Structure 1
Amino acid sequence: MSIRDAALSHSATYFDAGGFARELAALVAVPSESQDPRGGPHLMDYLTGHMVPMLEEMGFVWRIHDNPVTGAGPLLTAERIEDPSALTVLTYGHGDVVRAQEGQWRAGLAPFTLTEEGDRLYGRGAADNKGQHLVNLRAFSALIAAQGKLGFNAKILIEMGEEAGSPGLKQFCAEQRDLLKSDVLIASDGPRLSPERPTIFTGSRGGVTFDLLVDLRDGAHHSGNFGGLIADPSIILAHALATITDARGQILIPEWRPDSLTPRIREVLSVLPPVEAGITLDPDWGEESLTPAERVFGWNSFAVLAMKSGVPEAPVNAIAGHARATCQLRYVVGTDPDDIVPALRRHLAARGFGAVQVIAADRGTFPATRLDPDHPWVRFTARSLEQTTGFAPHLLPNLGGSLPNDCFAEVLALPTIWVPHSYAGCNQHAPNEHVLKPLMRQALLGMTGVFADIAVGKAPA
């Protein structure tokens, strides 16, 4: 039996005997909410109580690091160096989760209890991201079980603050370049395009969040006595927002329209299946000349995340003194990130909206990244996944969402390969989060095959 077949057999047995579900249940049981202060004590417990024993059993040497940002979650690094001259793979995951949203899960489910119903495993973090990095770690262990070694070097980075914007991660990677030095990042986060077929993406859209604020006066004033005499901040804000896009959401700020939707990127996107969203999509929304895939994976999108003026839950007959909108631009490579907010300020000023303040967020932003879809590591991973699963993977130039890929692509200067193990309907960040057992089994086998192919020398030199 080949090393590859032996490792695949080990992974299949582990999954089919319930090993994956048991270990995922233990990880889900840790209430590691990084967005809620009550989760703070559990962030370290996830690492020391669960990651460390698993890594020690696999022969990894580990370290836990304080976050460079005071008060932010800890980070864990681990390595198994079998030959200093051999190829080194870095993988990444995050053990923190979004808020549990207790009381909003349907009857019979609880966020920190893994519940199996048919082909679904429910629990907070099952999809994002505990189940995903568990797959990759157990793919490593299958290869070790098959031949007593990996056959290459491996490094692991687990952070505990991704859901809070990965505070300190970029600085940590910069300070620990030597510790994290590798040849490639192979990691997993986000959803596949379809549950049945693997997906590869090589970067992510960036995200910039900012507030638009119209602050005209203290307090509210009677709408009868002062209507027609004092400016309404809500109306000013609404008109300012209406200059950013047209009525179907097409971006009107020239600097926000990327130049990176090349013929090759369009070719890659043209073969993708329709986006499976679990909700009804609006065909008449977004850039009219683009396909749906081009709009979400190859273009920028502007959204108003929240708006407030006055007291919406208890309105009174008064003109508010101020109005605020929290907005976001999701952007791809080909957009100058340093000019996003300045371009907006210039745009609004040129149209007479000097009263509208643009206040940039001080955290939670990720730059856009993208690896050439024809890169040798992309081609290698696609071939390996197809050999194992029988499906040619869907290839995305970047994820539609944002994640801290710049830490690896830019700070560590690595080719970045992401193989997500979730799907669009997993309820990520929502009540009833879950993973699909058939998908996770296929993912475990697929990653086992990728690492086995690296071990036998099929990876790019």
Structure 2
Amino acid sequence: MSLRTADVENVANLIARDLDAILAELASLVRIPSVSWNAFDPTQVQRSSEAVAALATGLSFFDSVSILQAKKSDGTGLGQPAVVARRDARNGRPTVLLYAHHDVQPPGADADWLTTPFEPVIIEDRMFGRGAADDKAGVMSHIASLRVLTELSDQVDLGIVLYVEGEEEFGSPSFQNFLNDNREVLASDIIIVADSGNWSETVPALTVSLRGNVTFKLTVRTLDHAVHSGMFGGVVPDAMLAMIHLLASLNNADGSIAVEGLVSNAPETPDYDEAQLRRESGLLDGVSPLGTGSYLNRIWNQPSITVTGIDAPNVDNASNTLLPEVSVRVSVRVAPGQAASEAAAAVTEHLLAHAPWGVVPVISDLSTGEPFLADTTGTAAIAARAAMTDAWGVTPVDMGVGGSIPFISDFVAMFPEAQILVTGVEDPDSRAHSPNESLHIGAFEKAICAQTLLLLRLNDEQ
């Protein structure tokens, strides 16, 4: 059931009143270069965790606020710091866990940015900066919604857990241990993961499916040392040529996946034409989309294989030699409904079977993350859709996402009775992970409003 119009307007007015202050706090978080990758300064991630903990403490709402770490699953030390704050439920109300992450992707080359990556700038209706959308805006959506909740509600009986992770962009290497170590404080009835997006700047979405992922390093070696390309080219295979042939075997001529054993699904999807695909992805004129089926099915419900990095001489340093060894980084997206381990086995079998000229490919550094299919009929999902409708003024879309949030499967395993909602603040032009990442301020404001209305509804329902 929708809230009264007056309640919706009151929430919207309070958020509009505080929006400049919320954006200023977001900008302060964005200025901290909290890249969680090994090659970057870990003290910046610590700074970021301390800033988030200060925001949580400043609410004067939680029974406890802590910065915690857990051992990495590979035993190589501690993971990055996470913030956990908890307030126990009263009077039989449920406990809601609000998840976001405060770490960010590396910025990439400054030359690719229109602005300075860690100096947030508002241009028209968007804030630009690394982490402005993914996912420090998610952090601030939680903080801001709790502020309004406590201002409007005479009595907050909901239990609330704020869990802001510090290593999501680096694959959450300590996540499972963190859940094990902190199971009691994290225990919840409803989990809201604010790390996804919306259908557009004006239409909200509830993310109901996510692809899983398999990533690994693939190495091909053909020689024990480099040799002159003129002296031996044409008879001795170089590693680059072997790698090109091997990678080409992964796709059919139309770009669809050629690996046996990778599954696809074909549920109905919203209307989404080629013009929208080109507009949102930047696909160049004349370049054809890959695969078959509806575009959204290809993105949400079919596997994909991408080469995301290569170790080889760059063009400026390329000598006339046959390369003895080449390595690439491969990213496989796994369709919802297939186990990531099954997909990894299928790709491994394909590569071993299709390597040319007797080459034996080597797969290393393999990691997997499970796909996610939500229960869209639960009471929390119904309440979330109603809150989005009230806040945005339009009906939300049940949306799949081609990306992965592997740790959701860990939440499911640890708290099997919890209802999980995947929401977010991004829109198709946010360019998360890319240069010129940005946050649409209007969508951000409505996302805060929707979450506040959801919390009010969960707090007041009997």
**TM-score with structure 1 length normalisation?**
0.88
Counterpart amino acid of residue 69 in structure 2? D
Once the two structures are superposed, residues 376-416 of structure 1 have per-residue CA deviations (whole angstroms, 9 ceiling, x without a partner) of 432321122112221111112x4211123222233332322
5+ residue gaps, structure 2: none
The 2-side partners of 1:30 and 1:305 are apart by: 26
Describe the shift of the 1:37–1:222 C-alpha distance in structure 2 as closer, same or farther (beyond 3 A): closer
1:296 aligns with 2:299: yes
Does residue 57 of the first structure (1) align with residue 59 of the second (2)? Answer: yes
What is the identity, as a one-letter code, of the residue corresponding to 2:363? I
Retained in 2: the 8 A contact 1:341–1:358?
A: no
Preserved contact between residue 197 and residue 424 of structure 2 (Cα < 8 Å)? yes
Q: 1:88 aligns with which of 86, 92, 95?
A: 95
Change (3 A) 1:415 1:223: same
- Choose the corresponding residue for 2:17, options 10, 13, 18: 13
Instruction: Give the alignment partner of residue 399 of structure 1, picking from 390, 398, 401.
Output: 401
Counterpart code for 1:77: V
Mapped partners of 1:319, 1:202: distance in 2: 48
SS at match of 1:111: coil
User: What is the DSSP-based 3-state SS (H/G/I as helix, E as strand, rest coil) of the residue aligned with 1:91?
Assistant: strand
Alignment correspondent of 1:98: 105
Amino acid at match of 1:246: N
For 1:321, the equivalent position in structure 2 comes to 324
- In 2, Cα distance between the equivalents of 1:241 and 1:101? 25
- Please give the residue correspondences for 1:252-291 in structure 2 after superposition, counting only pairs within 5 Å: 252-258=258-264, 260-261=265-266, 266-267=267-268, 269-271=269-271, 274-275=276-277, 277-280=280-283, 284-288=288-292, 290-291=293-294
1:126 counterpart SS class: coil
The percentage of counterpart residues that share the same residue type is 22
- Paired amino acid for 2:13: S
Change (3 A) 1:101 1:349: closer
2:424 counterpart SS class: coil
Helix, strand or coil at the partner of 1:313: helix
Measured after TM superposition, the shift of residue 292 of structure 1 is: 0.3
Q: 1:427 to 1:104 in 2, by over 3 A?
A: farther
1:448 aligns with 2:452: yes
Partner of 1:333: 336
Give the aligned partner of residue 346 of structure 2: 343
Count residues with an aligned counterpart. Answer: 446
Deviation digits for residues 150-179 of structure 1 (CA, Å, limit 9, x no counterpart)? 331111111111111112012211332222
Answer whether contact 2:53 2:66 (CA < 8 A) is retained. no
Moved more, 314-323 or 124-133: 314-323
Deviation at 1:100, TM superposition (A): 3.3
1:36/1:100 CA distance change after superposition, 3 Å: farther
CA contact (8 A) 2:203 2:397 kept: yes
1:192-242 Cα deviation digits (max 9, x unpaired): 221111111034211111233221222211223223432333232222222
1:236 corresponds to: 242
SS of the residue aligned with 2:41?
helix
SS at match of 1:188: strand
CA distance in 1, matches of 2:319, 2:165: 46
Q: What is the one-letter code of the residue matched to 1:88?
A: T
Matched position secondary structure for 1:447: helix
Q: How does 1:133-172 map to 2 (within 5 A)?
A: 133-172=139-178
Structure 1 residues 136 and 303 mapped into 2: Cα distance closer, same or farther (>3 Å)? same
Q: CA deviation at 1:47?
A: 2.3
Q: Give how far 1:53 is off.
A: 4.1
Deviation at 1:251, TM superposition (A): 1.2
Q: Which of 31, 35, 38 is 2:37 aligned to?
A: 35
**TM-score normalized with structure 2 length:** 0.88
CA distance in 1, matches of 2:235, 2:109: 47
Q: Is the 8 A contact 2:206 2:421 kept in 1?
A: yes
Shifted more, 446-455 versus 51-60: the winner is: 51-60
- Using the alignment, how far apart are the partners of 2:37 and 2:191 within structure 1? 27
Cα separation, partners in 2 of 1:277 and 1:146, compared to 1, 3 Å: same
SS in 2 for 1:86: coil
Q: Secondary structure at the match of 2:163?
A: strand
Tell me the alpha carbon deviations over residues 327-367 of structure 1, each in whole angstroms, 9 at most, x when there is no partner: 1111122223213333233334444655232414245x422
2:195 maps to which residue? 189
Give the distance between the partners of 1:72 and 1:23, measured in 2 at CA.
Answer: 26
Unmatched tracts of structure 1, length 5 or more = none
* Higher mean C-alpha deviation, range 382-391 or range 39-48: 39-48
Q: Distance in 2 between matches of 1:210 and 1:101?
A: 21
- Paired AA for residue 238 in structure 2: D
